[in-house]
Every structure is written in C-alpha cells, then in structure tokens.
A and B are shown apart, each in its own frame.
Chain A
C-alpha cells in the first residue's frame, strides 16, 4: 500500500500552484465576477491550454499529454484553490470523459484533439426541471436525427462549441430509451439565453433545441448508465476542486483570526473560533482522504469507483460548504462585504456541490451502491 501521490505528481502540484498564483489571482477572478459580458477568462484558458492541462488525461494519439487521472486530480485541486474562472470542469471532467469512454473512433478523432488543445469547449446538458434529474423527467427527444427540447441550467453553455445532450430516442419517454447526442453550437435550431448563477464566475444558460442535428454518442438506450458512469468519474475530480477551495477557506479564516483583535486579544485565541477551525480541519482531512481513495479507484478503473466517488463527493461537499460558511462567520461584518473574498468561496462551494448533483442525491447514490454491492 502506498496512499500518497508520487514525487512527480507533487512536483506537478507545486508547479500548478505557482502558475495559478501568477496567472489567476483574485483580481482576475473578480474581473469575471463583475463583468456580466464575460463568461470566463479567455487569457487564463489559453494559458492553461498551453500548459497542456486540458489534455492531461487525453491519450497522446488524440493530442493529449497522455498522463493519468491522478495528474488530473492534482490539477483539479489547484483549480479549486485558485477559483479559476474557466470551463475546465464542463469541458474536461465531463465532455472529454464522455468522448473518451463512449465516443466511436471518428468522434474521438474529431473532438479530443480540439478539446485537448483548448480550441474547443465542450459541455453536457442534462437538467430540465426544478429538482433531481431522472430519466422520467427528461422530455427532450430525438426523431429522425433531430433533437427538440429545452435544457437548463447548462454550465458553460454559452461558450460551448459542442454539447452532449441527454434525450429520449424516438419520442419514447421511458427509461430504456434515454440516449446521448452531440450537438454543435452553430446549428440554426439552437438558441441560448443566459442565466445568472450563484457564482457568476461559473456561468450557465438555458438552451432551446428545435429540430437540431443530433449525432448519437454511445449505444442507444444506454444514456442513463453512461451518465452515472461519467458522473462518478467527474465526482472524484470535483471533490479535489472542493477540497482545494475548502483548504483556502480555512487558511484565510486562520490568517484573519490572527490579525483581528477584540477584547484585547487576537480573535484566533478564542476557543469558540479555535474549535470551529479545528472542525474545519477535521472535515477537510476526512474529505481529502476520501478524495484520495476516489482518486485511486478512478485511476485504476476499480469496481470500487461508484462507492469511492460518492464518498469523496459527499465528504468534499460537506467540507467546502462548512468551511466557506464559517469563514464568513469568523470574519464578522467584513465577511459579508463584496470587498472581502469570503463570498467568492461561499458562492463556489455551493455551486460546485450542486453542479453534478446535490449532496442529498450523492448520499442516496452512496447507500444504494453499498446495498447493491453489499461490500460491507
């Protein structure tokens, strides 16, 4: 057993951290937050692509670096720490993983090199309802290769060049007919309207499809199991982003608590705050360890993945939501100002914990996977 990243992976982490400190400081994050015209930082996206990060886990034959999922986990943590305002999760954790796992050779050749180079941004469109997406509440459908329906929210939908859409094949809205389709942004039947989100550095839109050209991805009728599989993979990567953000929330709470005085002493010397920060630490360490386990399962294609991914996701959402919320509390009044950065993490924490399904839903996944596999 060796339950740690390798020296090379740690080196990659250090490089990524330095790079993002330089290219993605808070003023860059705020420039996207405060400019409703900008959906992401194009400069940062270019820089990231030049570093090869977008192609980290894409095989060399498709233009990627051909490194593994562990390296992608390392990068995810750093993106989470720096609050990077880019479509990385939509394009890499979701779109690229769908194509890698379920695309045919032609689709891989067509899309992966452009995704790896950052030239193309991909995303995934699933939700249509207020509530948990399920096969039974997906109304979008495809007839004779033409897709119609409406999806919202679609993360990074406004800037996506290519979108994977979950829809029923042949108008038949039963479970077995859910399939995945590829739709290109220029189709005349596709219209977009932007949505405000909890965290404007991670934008979303609603997409309307009216007889749009749709190319099937993966086997017909197997949409739901493909979604579950890719969400499991993405959950591990999201959990690393979340752990990264949670750690910075704790670090900043600690820093402020040492600088601010009340009643003649540092507020960080009050036990109520010390114990709160100890609780953050505990949640973050548990989340980090669960994420490591997820990373191992992901990188080895272990059949532990569904359980490991759900565990990582539940733990990381808890750690980040708690740490970002209590970070505001530890700051007092200034924590509620636009000027201080606490809200950046508070926004991102909640948004990330909803993006690929709520904590509630992942807890349910966890228990049902434990039941299924009866591993305990």
Chain B
C-alpha cells in the first residue's frame, strides 16, 4: 500500500504542472480576489454558465478551442488515447494526475468531454480505420466538437425505447424523428446517434448506430431553456436526413451493443468532482456568520461537514483503488457507478446547506454575490441536473443492485414483445 507518487508519477506531475503554469491561470479554491474567477461548475456538455447572450457564448467557445489546441499540442488532451490519434498513450493514473493538477487552474471545460470521453472511444472500437484517422485527431484538438444524440421524448432511462426511424434506401439511410436533451448540439459539428431500423424486432434488437455531420440537411437544433436560465441542451429534429451507410458503426441491428460501449465510457468519464465539494463549503464557513459567530465554529455545521468530507475523500480513494486494479490488469466493474451517485447528491446537499447558512442573503443570485461568486446558487440548480444526466440516481442504484450485488432484475414486460407491440404511456 503506497499512496505517494512513484518517481515516474512524480516526474509526470511536474511536467503537467509546468505546462499548466505556463499556459493557464492558477485559481484558489475560493474567489478571494475581486476579479478571481473562482471555482466553476462545468461538466461534460454543459460549459460554465455564460451570461451575455450569443456573442459571449461564441467568445467563450473560441477561448475553449484555443485552450484545447494548446493542451492537444502538449499531448495532454487525451491521456488515455493511443499516440497515433494524438493521444498521450498514457495510463489511468496519469489521467488522474492530470485532472488533479488541472483542477487547480482556471481552464475552460464542458465542450470536449463527450467526444474525448465517450464518442471517440466508441469510434475506436467500432469505426473503420479511415474514419478513425479522419475524425479522432480533430476531436482531440477541439477543431471538431461532438454531441451524443441518444435520448428522446419517450426514451431516457429506458434508452432502448427510442423511436427515431432509420430506413435503408440503397446506400443511404433516411432518418426521421426527434432527439432531446442533446447537450452541446447547438455548437457541435458532429454527432453519434442510435435509431430504430426494425420496429418489428425485439426492442434491443432493432437498433442501428451512426455518426453524422450536424450540418446535414434536414437537421434542426432548438435550444431548451433550463431551470438554471441558460440553454446547454437541445431538441434536435430530423426530417428526411440522409446519411451514407458508410457512417454506420457496427452491424445493422447491432446498435444497442455499440451504444453500450458509449455508455460504459460515460460511466468512466462522469463523476469527476466539479468545483463544488467539501473544500468549498469548508472555506465558505470561515466567512459566513451564523447565530453564534462564524459558521465554522458551529457544532452542527462541523458535524455536517465531516459527512461530506468522508464522502468526498471516500470517492477519491475508491477511484484510486479502481486505478490500482486497472494497473494490475483487472477490470473495475460497475462499482464506478457510485461516483456520480454520491457526487450529485452531495453537491445538492452542500449547496442547499450553504444557502441556508447565508440565511436571507442566500436568496441573492447575481454576480455581486459576496460569497464565492454565486457558486452555491449555481450549484443548487446544477446539482438537480447532475442527479438525472448520464443515468438517474434510481437507475444507478438499479445497476449497483443488479450488476454488482446480483439481485434480481425488475419485472421487464418489454423484453418479450416486438417493439411495435409494446405498451407506451405519455409520449
């Protein structure tokens, strides 16, 4: 048992630090200077809240692309990817070291993770060599952004319930239907999509998986305003969208298998704690006053913070255990599902409690907010999304119960009938 960096790991860490110090601005855990940008909350597909309309959003995207290019040039944009596609060819522990260090700097995020974390790895498994050569390097450099067109109005947790029609017409497929909650579709250049190619087959059998150019005629993207007031996800409508058969990944009718590759990588990619955790509320309690003085001195506050600390560090150490298993050639299983499950609820609890501590001033939600620049106000909204996106709390508990603990599956009336004979409710 050794918690310290090995000499090679320490060297790698130094290299990373040098790169970050030369190229990015260091930030504190709290926004202690007036113009300090402070901690941020951003996860895959949902860049940090950008105020100021389209112009500001475009500018933010440009800055993100510039940063991504630098990172890619240095080799750090996709530590786990093979070198031939512009990756670092590194190990999971190196990926963790990079994330740990990057966490201390103000860098844009939320644009490229879906591609690099989920869709790229799917193409690596299922794509043709020429496609990998054409698309993967630009995914890393940020020149081309990708989105995940999976969920539909009638299919979220029950992803295999999608209805998007894919009809084969010679060497082409024609897509008709609607996707929804597609993060980043409004700035994405490409997307990966699952569609139903055979409605008379069983639910999981009649699906086929494609990638496509978001500028293909017939695609219409409409941003959806979220409870946070911004719009990071979208409705995407498809009317007679024609894509060549060469853009199919996996065999016809094998789309579910390909989608599972994406989802498996999603589980590996999500759950990295965003910048709202124990450390932030710990700092905040040193500034906020409650009935008997500073919040940090209040015993109830201390009791609660201890719970969040052990959750936060417990997750971090669980990750280290998984990485150790990986480095010994064992596969870490669905136990990784605990990460997002714990992180999202913790963030919601921490945010709500911090607002409580601020008392009446907790209601203020604008940039003048003296405490941590709105961090907890933003977290209050954002955490509600985290508990749903990428597998809801309930679905994650099902996964743990069934795949880790081996408990029986739920009753599944949908497994036996052809898709077009299944009962369906609202939507």
A pairs with B: yes
Chain A interface (Cβ < 8 Å from any Cβ of B): 1-6, 70, 250, 254, 257-258, 265-266, 268-269, 271, 274-275, 277-279, 281-282, 285-290, 292-293, 295-297, 299-300, 310-311, 314-315, 318, 360, 362-364, 366-368, 370-371, 376
24 CB < 8 A contacts A-B: A1-B93, A2-B324, A2-B327, A3-B317, A3-B324, A5-B1, A70-B1, A250-B405, A257-B407, A258-B407, A275-B394, A277-B401, A278-B405, A285-B314, A286-B315, A289-B316, A290-B314, A297-B3, A363-B307, A364-B303, A364-B306, A366-B309, A370-B282, A376-B279
Residue from A1, A289, A367, A370 in contact with B4 in the complex, judged by beta carbons closer than 8 Å: A1
Asked whether, in the complex, the Cβ of B314 is within 8 Å of the Cβ of A3, the reply is: no
Q: Distance in Å from the Cβ of B380 to the closest Cβ of chain A?
A: 22
Docked pose: A285 CA to B338 CA in angstroms? 9
A282, closest chain B residue (CB): B338
Enumerate chain B residues within 8 angstroms of A5, measured Cβ to Cβ: 1
B423 at the interface (CB under 8 A from A): no
Enumerate chain A residues within 8 angstroms of B316, measured Cβ to Cβ: 289
Residue from B311, B401, B404, B408 in contact with A275 in the complex, judged by beta carbons closer than 8 Å: B401
Most buried by A among B278, B328, B402, B405: B405
Q: Distance in Å from the Cβ of A81 to the closest Cβ of chain B?
A: 18
- Taking CB atoms and an 8 Å cut-off, the chain B residues in 278-303 that contact chain A are 278-279, 282-283, 296, 299, 302-303
Residue from B296, B310, B321, B397 in contact with A274 in the complex, judged by beta carbons closer than 8 Å: B397
Chain B interface (Cβ < 8 Å from any Cβ of A): 1-6, 9, 29, 93, 278-279, 282-283, 296, 299, 302-303, 305-307, 309-311, 313-318, 320-321, 323-325, 327-328, 335, 338, 341-342, 394, 396-398, 400-402, 404-411
B296, closest chain A residue (CB): A371
Docked pose: A299 CA to B4 CA in angstroms? 13
Docked pose: A286 CA to B346 CA in angstroms? 13
Most buried by B among A1, A268, A285: A1
Docked pose: A315 CA to B310 CA in angstroms? 6
Q: A274-B398, A296-B3, A314-B306 are in contact. Are A282 and B9 (CB under 8 A)?
A: no
Enumerate chain B residues within 8 angstroms of A293, measured Cβ to Cβ: 3, 313, 317
Q: How would you classify the secondary structure of chain A's contact residues: helix, strand, loop or mixed? A: helix
Enumerate chain B residues within 8 angstroms of A299, measured Cβ to Cβ: 1
Asked whether, in the complex, the Cβ of B324 is within 8 Å of the Cβ of A1, the reply is: yes
Asked whether, in the complex, the Cβ of B1 is within 8 Å of the Cβ of A4, the reply is: yes
Docked pose: A234 CA to B207 CA in angstroms? 56
Asked whether, in the complex, the Cβ of A286 is within 8 Å of the Cβ of B407, the reply is: no
A280, closest chain B residue (CB): B405
Q: How would you classify the secondary structure of chain B's contact residues: helix, strand, loop or mixed? A: helix
Asked whether, in the complex, the Cβ of B407 is within 8 Å of the Cβ of A360, the reply is: no
Enumerate chain B residues within 8 angstroms of A6, measured Cβ to Cβ: 1
Docked pose: A290 CA to B314 CA in angstroms? 5
Q: Distance in Å from the Cβ of B354 to the closest Cβ of chain A?
A: 16
Docked pose: A318 CA to B308 CA in angstroms? 12
Docked pose: A275 CA to B392 CA in angstroms? 13
Q: A282-B400, A311-B310 are in contact. Are A254 and B1 (CB under 8 A)?
A: no
Asked whether, in the complex, the Cβ of B310 is within 8 Å of the Cβ of A286, the reply is: yes
Docked pose: A2 CA to B2 CA in angstroms? 5
B328, closest chain A residue (CB): A4
Residue from A3, A250, A268 in contact with B1 in the complex, judged by beta carbons closer than 8 Å: A3
B338, closest chain A residue (CB): A282
Docked pose: A250 CA to B328 CA in angstroms? 27
Enumerate chain A residues within 8 angstroms of B401, measured Cβ to Cβ: 274-275, 277-278
Most buried by B among A70, A286, A318, A370: A286
Residue from B3, B303, B405, B410 in contact with A269 in the complex, judged by beta carbons closer than 8 Å: B410
B304, closest chain A residue (CB): A363
Asked whether, in the complex, the Cβ of A279 is within 8 Å of the Cβ of B397, the reply is: yes
**Given A278-B398, A315-B314; 12 other pairs, CB 8 A cutoff:** A4-B1, A70-B1, A268-B408, A269-B409, A275-B398, A278-B404, A281-B338, A285-B335, A285-B338, A286-B315, A364-B306, A376-B279
Asked whether, in the complex, the Cβ of B400 is within 8 Å of the Cβ of A292, the reply is: no
Q: List the 3 closest A-B pairs by CB distance, nearest first.
A: A286-B314, A363-B306, A289-B317
Enumerate chain B residues within 8 angstroms of A258, measured Cβ to Cβ: 407-408
Most buried by A among B1, B278, B407, B408: B1
Q: A3-B321, A285-B338, A376-B282 are in contact. Are A314 and B307 (CB under 8 A)?
A: yes
Asked whether, in the complex, the Cβ of B397 is within 8 Å of the Cβ of A376, the reply is: no
Q: Distance in Å from the Cβ of B193 to the closest Cβ of chain A?
A: 31
Docked pose: A1 CA to B100 CA in angstroms? 14
Q: A360-B303, A363-B303 are in contact. Are A269 and B407 (CB under 8 A)?
A: yes
Enumerate chain A residues within 8 angstroms of B410, measured Cβ to Cβ: 269, 271
Docked pose: A174 CA to B311 CA in angstroms? 37
Docked pose: A363 CA to B396 CA in angstroms? 29
Docked pose: A5 CA to B300 CA in angstroms? 36
Q: A282-B341, A286-B342, A299-B1 are in contact. Are A4 and B321 (CB under 8 A)?
A: yes
